[in-house]
Copies of this chain bind each other. A is one copy, B any other.
Amino acid sequence: MPASPIRKLVPFAEAAKKKGTKVYHLNIGQPDIETPPAIIDAVKHADIRVLEYSHSAGNESYRRKLVQYYKKVGIDVTYDQIMITTGGSEAILFGFFTCLNPGDEVIVPEPFYANYNGFACAAGVTVKPITSTIETGFALPPIEEFEKVITAKTKAIIICSPNNPTGYLYSKEEMYKLKDICLKHNLYLFSDEAYREFCYDGEYVSAMHIEGMEEHVVLMDTISKRYSACGARIGALVTKNKAVYDAAMKFAQARLSPPGLAQIMGEAAIDLPDSYFEAPKAEYLSRRNLLVKRLNAMHGVICPNPGGAFYAIAKLPIDDSDRFCQWLLESFSHQGETIMLAPATGFYGTPGLGKQEVRLAYVLNTAALDRAMNCLEEALKIYPGRIEN
């Protein structure tokens, strides 16, 4: 298992802070948006005598309320098609364990969420990347690229839309292309929709909106980003495929139950007004606009405009993104400040790709983001490994 591209430079950031340098963290998708106080209050006001195991699929009351939530985003499911998991992470893990056997293969458009590697490793599964490129804004690779890597061992495709790490939002046409290939080759479609609420351009299309895919789609969801509640560790696996659900339940039963206190939070979140998302969405949008504008104004930098989530990948005029990101922390500061980025190499499965790319998570307010961009701009002027593309 490779080290996390998001966390591997942490010791260098700690050393920079010890020297007195302020570090702007754009490396990790930990939002700074306030967790809605109402959902934390729900836990504070809960009357708990014994904090018991919940149902292995999560509290039935919560699952029944989630049906309403999904209905609002155009997903029609019943409570017994929803399984509450320990974060979206466990939903992904259960999907891998349930739908794939050791030695099987899963196709994923790269760059991709690096932790898929960890879950694949745990399940003994091989990740087969197909490359999406910054030139296309990280659009879905052509179907022929999928066809090239499909073998008898291929059992699933995993996508994330809006995407982490690219911010790309798959179009309806792209989702239907995925449908065609999944039906043709009888593949599962794992759809990681953690960032559903944050779409800025274009229409959000869930894998569960696609008719005729009922037996193929396994939706992996989480409240982490939706309500800025990453530490709660509450997610969901949603599927209309009863055999998949029943098999996942065996893993769910082995680990007994998802976290009890945080399920109260998740359930309370369904009662937030529909207007709740307006403010965080507007905030992320203004950050995205600032970030993309600042990046593209830098000489030699290219950053496609991401349609959703709160990530962007930028191509920089540098020799090696791992070296550059480490140098930013070790050897650079501008007005006593520097910036921590995630080298994009860790988001690619194909060795050698992403060497000129970094991922930026716009999880800081616009003032901080602007200062962080000042750092990057100055850094690129003096970085010894600068190369003109």
Which A residues have a C-beta under 8 Å from some C-beta of B? 1, 3-4, 7, 28, 30-35, 40, 43-44, 48-54, 56, 86-87, 89-90, 93, 97, 102, 115, 117-119, 122-124, 228-233, 250-251, 253-262, 265
Contact B260 A51 (CB under 8 A): no
A56: B residues at CB distance < 8 A? 7
How distant is the Cα of A254 from the Cα of B88 in the complex, in angstroms? Answer: 11
A120 to B77, CA, bound (A): 32
* Copies of this protein, total: 2
Interface residues of chain A: helix, strand, loop or mixed (majority): loop
A118–B251 CB distance below 8 A: yes
A52-B115 Cα distance, complex, nearest whole Å: 18
On whether A231 and B260 interact (CB within 8 A), knowing A34-B50, A49-B34, the answer reads yes
Q: How far is the CA of A53 from the CA of B228 in the complex (A)?
A: 10
User: From residue A323, how far is it (CB to closest CB) to chain B in Å?
Assistant: 22
B residues in contact with A43, CB < 8 Å? 43-44, 261
20 more A-B residue pairs beyond the given contacts A34-B50, A54-B231, A115-B256, with a C-beta to C-beta distance below 8 A: A3-B250, A4-B253, A4-B254, A28-B53, A30-B52, A31-B50, A51-B231, A52-B230, A87-B256, A89-B256, A118-B250, A118-B253, A124-B124, A230-B256, A233-B257, A233-B258, A233-B259, A259-B259, A259-B262, A261-B262
- B53, A35: Cβ atoms closer than 8 Å: no
Closest chain-B Cβ to A368's Cβ sits at a distance in Å of 15
